[in-house]
Structure 1
């Protein structure tokens, strides 16, 4: 449910820390009135609260370092660039002491262009091209996460051709621990494309994961620096992280028992859940850090092995709450449903091209009237886009003032992650700009696309 129309001060979850509603009902973010932002930058527009993003990155690093120092080991925090990556964002997270995780050549290229040193970048991907592998090796990235058995030889052979010295690699494990939201964002059950299963082969032989680990150790071109696992996205219960920690450390101990090699690092992935709705409770960084550290210490003690260095890969938890999207209202259409109730369809000037998640897997978002004090009477509303799809929904259900009308501004919270990064040009709609705000100043990080941009790719 929306906050009351006369609410004042910071709005709290799920908004960034600087979002507040003024006496005239207009939202402010980063010290700027959203009406001024809309006038200057147009709508729709992604608005990114720089100081909020930086603070979230910094807090994650500090609380994880403190929790793992208590158990006698270290931890690195990688920013998962897939959530949203631009040159400025790469620089911001690097400034705050984070490393950068990339999953494609494009993300790698942006991180390198931003000046992030290669050794502070990791490369993921279930289907890395030869070009992506070569670029990662040339950039001397800190690690390449191998996702399949054939990548072992492909990366090793690429190293041999380049004579660059051993490549630092991890092997991604599929542990069977599943957590998070929709099945499309679950990444650790057996029947999916990522990683190598730790389950024994049907004939009782080595698991695919162990087979790959032994293959890495057999190639002098590769340096096995660790094991990697990721259980899913938008995880709100830390129990899954504790379970996967025990499983990965058990594989590490088994490999050491068989080969004498005790890999120095374990990456536990990301997926820390955030608040999208006012009633949501995000997974607090302090809680997940302490529970992960405790689980790691307990598992290592039970196995009789020393603790490795750890790493994590939050993306959504850094950038998601720092972003909001501004829309301009167009058509407002009350629709009487078969049960006699009325749903008000509020159409905006964006839609599934700037936020595909509600259409793709039913993701829930929260919208408010952003530019004035609305009626105290509320209506059940559905915020929809301008695209030629009935599934073009921005917010499935929310309460909006009964007098919502054409020309109003709406703000949708927590769109910093996976909005711009998954955006498209469906119906040939240009993608919105990304506008950073801080201390009363706005600047464009990624400019709005134009029809000229669309035609520039069309060879006619």
Structure 2
């Protein structure tokens, strides 16, 4: 990406404020803060990265994930610059492919992986393993052995059994492991139950309250092959303010202080996790990286002063906040039908050629999305619509509620913004659907970075197949 282009987009992202969060005067326009920085409409046709989506679909088919390279790089750069004295780990679980891993490296970020598969992608991309962090609540001995062999920079340990495995492996191989201890701080993040990760009753981490976290630190310090970097805390996902981070930092730093006084060890690092929210609808107002950095740094420095601690080296792990807004999904409409609602109202059900196999988040998390007609201008009055998929499930919903043009018809294209995080990562072959491609766009050029699956791909693992 050209330096002046990256700088301009970076400045654009950091300058957006509450006054910018508004509905368009014309329903054919875009609600800007929901879309990637290069998305624009002309005569009703949506283009991203200079590529009109009808042209993209004509060449690559639909549905398709459209990845705005300039926007991704600008958002990565915004976090890198705002958190300049932190280690910024891109959370690969949001979306990862070799191309994205290379962009992450080129933008100066580290990389967080949480499975052997994600590690394989990172290594295949040539990512420096010393800049990789390895997460997961049930890493097998084989996975840990591979991480050690690759030279992964940090392993975030999550259980006593994992500590035992890691200690045995370091003793057997002679390879040392740099580790962080993941702790649960007892913070209730205001998010969906399944993506809140710092309260006590869940699967991740060692409890500070119960004393498990301190015991885990003791065990790491006693293990000859383990080097303790510090503590890791992650309070959840899709979080819009820093109040939860404040409570978590206070409790985690109190444990830092106790380790210093009781065990005589000053841990050099602390990871505050990620979970920074994005705008899926006009109701969402996410904080910009610069504001997050200022507030989170102030929180940590205040607590460190109160506890008499030197500020540890800090890390964060944005994933959704970088890739989420950088992707939209384009669909083709197949059918439209109206149904009667209670009270005499009506709803238009708009069926597209994808659904829960390419975006499970609406069904899984009750997530909200928006959408726009992407292939033409409409002067029809808006009607209450629901965008649904083609799978055999009543809960196969892409966009629960959206006012859409009343003249939508088969063959029209709809685009859904904010689909970069977890949509392709969680995509499935339900009903033997073929997972869509990821098409990167920049400067009027579209290129496939993850190809569309084929029926041959489906049958490749079916040992009874005859073709």
Pairs within 5 Å for 1:367-446: 367-446=371-450
Query: How far does the alpha carbon of each residue in 1:243-263 deviate from its partner, in whole angstroms, 9 at most, with x for none?
Result: 111111110110110111111
Secondary structure of 2:285 counterpart: coil
Secondary structure of 2:398 counterpart: strand
Q: Separation in 1 of the partners of 2:287 and 2:197? A: 19
Shift in CA distance, 378/6, structure 1 to aligned 2, threshold 3 Å:
closer
Instruction: Give the number of equivalent residue pairs.
Output: 443
Q: Separation in 2 of the partners of 1:221 and 1:145? A: 15
Displacement of 1:283: 2.0
Secondary structure of 1:101 counterpart: strand
* Corresponding residue to 1:106 among 100, 117, 128: 117
Mapped contact 1:327–1:409 kept (Cα < 8 A): yes
Mapped contact 1:367–1:395 kept (Cα < 8 A): yes
Alignment correspondent of 2:79 = 60
1:51 matched to 2:70? The reply is yes
Alignment correspondent of 2:191 = 181
Shift in CA distance, 243/430, structure 1 to aligned 2, threshold 3 Å:
same
1:228 matched to 2:248? The reply is no
Deviates more, 1:149-158 or 1:411-420: 149-158
* Corresponding residue to 1:87 among 61, 82, 98: 98
Alignment correspondent of 2:268 = 264
Q: Separation in 2 of the partners of 1:31 and 1:59? A: 22
Displacement of 1:340: 1.0
Q: Separation in 1 of the partners of 2:77 and 2:200? A: 34
Displacement of 1:180: 3.9
Mapped contact 1:50–1:322 kept (Cα < 8 A): yes
1:277 matched to 2:297? The reply is no
Mapped contact 2:23–2:31 kept (Cα < 8 A): no
Mapped contact 1:330–1:347 kept (Cα < 8 A): yes
Mapped contact 1:5–1:375 kept (Cα < 8 A): no
Structure 2 length-normalised TM: 0.93
* Corresponding residue to 1:12 among 24, 29, 32: 32
1:125 matched to 2:136? The reply is yes
Query: How far does the alpha carbon of each residue in 1:210-238 deviate from its partner, in whole angstroms, 9 at most, with x for none?
Result: 11110111101100011000000000121
Mapped contact 1:18–1:29 kept (Cα < 8 A): yes
Q: Separation in 2 of the partners of 1:198 and 1:212? A: 10
Alignment correspondent of 1:69 = none
Alignment correspondent of 1:42 = 61
Structure 1 length-normalised TM: 0.95
Mapped contact 1:50–1:437 kept (Cα < 8 A): yes
Q: Separation in 1 of the partners of 2:409 and 2:437? A: 24
Secondary structure of 2:425 counterpart: helix
Alignment correspondent of 1:21 = 41
Q: Separation in 1 of the partners of 2:235 and 2:220? A: 23
Mapped contact 1:188–1:232 kept (Cα < 8 A): yes
Query: How far does the alpha carbon of each residue in 1:388-414 deviate from its partner, in whole angstroms, 9 at most, with x for none?
Result: 000000000001000011100000000
Alignment correspondent of 1:157 = 168
Query: How far does the alpha carbon of each residue in 1:404-430 deviate from its partner, in whole angstroms, 9 at most, with x for none?
Result: 111000000000110100000000000
Shift in CA distance, 367/6, structure 1 to aligned 2, threshold 3 Å:
closer
Query: How far does the alpha carbon of each residue in 1:146-169 deviate from its partner, in whole angstroms, 9 at most, with x for none?
Result: 0011211210111111112x2100
Alignment correspondent of 1:171 = 181
Alignment correspondent of 1:68 = none
Q: Separation in 2 of the partners of 1:171 and 1:6? A: 50
Mapped contact 1:5–1:373 kept (Cα < 8 A): no
Alignment correspondent of 1:363 = 367
Mapped contact 1:2–1:398 kept (Cα < 8 A): no
Alignment correspondent of 2:453 = 449
5+ residue gaps, structure 1, are: 66-73, 201-206
Mapped contact 1:276–1:364 kept (Cα < 8 A): yes
Displacement of 1:279: 3.6
Secondary structure of 2:343 counterpart: coil
Secondary structure of 1:217 counterpart: helix
Q: Separation in 2 of the partners of 1:2 and 1:413? A: 15
Alignment correspondent of 1:33 = 52
Q: Separation in 1 of the partners of 2:450 and 2:23? A: 30
Mapped contact 1:50–1:438 kept (Cα < 8 A): yes
Mapped contact 1:11–1:20 kept (Cα < 8 A): no
Query: How far does the alpha carbon of each residue in 1:303-323 deviate from its partner, in whole angstroms, 9 at most, with x for none?
Result: 001111000000000100000
CA RMSD of aligned residues (A): 1.2
Displacement of 1:376: 3.9
Displacement of 1:265: 0.2
5+ residue gaps, structure 2, are: 1-21
Alignment correspondent of 1:286 = 290
